[in-house]
Each structure stands twice: as C-alpha cells, then as structure tokens.
A = this chain, B = another copy of it.
Amino acid sequence: MSLSPFETLLAVHECTALMHEYGYRFDHGAGVTVADLFVEDGEWSSPAVTCRGRDELIAFFRLRDEMTDRMTRHVVSNITVEVRSAERATARSIAIEFRGTRGPDGLAAETSPALVGDYEDEFVRVDGRWKFRRRNVVIDFKRSGEVYLRASS
C-alpha cells in the first residue's frame, strides 16, 4: 500500500515534530522522558555509548537531568525524512549542541557549539504515533575540552 503525497507530507511533519520534541525535553529538564519517544526496544547510540531498550534509555537519559548546572540547546537542522511506508521512515539531519554552565547571572557564556555532527534516525509508527526505533549520533566537530556523556559505571 503506497502513501499519497499528502500522507507522505504529514508523516514528514510528524517525524520532524518528534525530532524537535527530543531536543526540547533534554533542554528543559525532562531528559528522562525522552525514552518515551522511543519504541520499547529502541536504540540510541553515539561514539561513546550504545543504549538498547527502555530501561537503558531511561538510565542514560536521566544522567542529563542530574546535571542541573548544564544548559543545552539541541539544534536539529537540514532535516530530510524519507517515508518508506505508512509505518517506517528514516531521516538524516545536522545536529548542533550548544552546551554551557550556568553562571552567576543565570546564563551560560559558551556560545560556540560543543558538538556538531549528524543524526541518523529510524522511525516506526505504533498505534498512530511515530517513534524512534533508532537514533545514531555522528560527531565530526567537538569543542576543545568537551567530553561525551557516558553511561555511569
């Protein structure tokens, strides 16, 4: 069953909204709930970490929320979504993370990005909602002195 042009455009819009929601939650103190944007056996990977399944995602994303002095903005740009079927889509995009430490005035002063790279995404539609099946983060630029978030050991 092939999608109509309008159904395709709507799927693109919904996957894009999911990508924005991912960043918004991390940037506004709700990183742990990002796990809900993944399917049960969803996967998140970066050069430093691979997490599989809801429990691992929750444990890892929670680490972000615990860094209460850290400010971030997860900018996603150049989003290209390929809708494969009514239930499957993939996307590539440019990932830019602003990251800084809250200063005495409540603001972070580090305005050059900490990380620049790509997101490589796979989506599935479950019960009428698009979710991440897999998000891989490719890093090509890293600000001097920055370290990746790693699972606690």
Contacts and interface: CB of A to CB of B under 8 A. Distances in A.
A4 to B, nearest CB: 10
A76 to B, nearest CB: 6
Contacts of A80: 17, 20-21, 24
Measured as residues with beta carbon below 8 angstroms from the partner, the interface class of chain A is 35 or more
A142 B107 contact: yes
A75 B96 CA distance: 10
Copies of this chain present: 3
Given A109-B144, A141-B100, A141-B107, A116 B73 contact: yes
Nearest to A76: B78
A84 interface: no
Contacts of A116: 73, 98, 111
A19 to B, nearest CB: 8
Contacts of A75: 77-78, 94, 96
Contact of A141 (B110, B141, B142): B110
B92 A140 contact: no
Interface in A84-132: 92, 94, 96, 98, 100, 105, 107-117
A98 B111 CA distance: 10
Nearest to A79: B20
A2 to B, nearest CB: 16
A139 B102 CA distance: 12
Interface of A: 5-6, 9-10, 12-13, 17, 20-21, 23-24, 71, 73-80, 92, 94, 96, 98, 100, 105, 107-117, 139-144
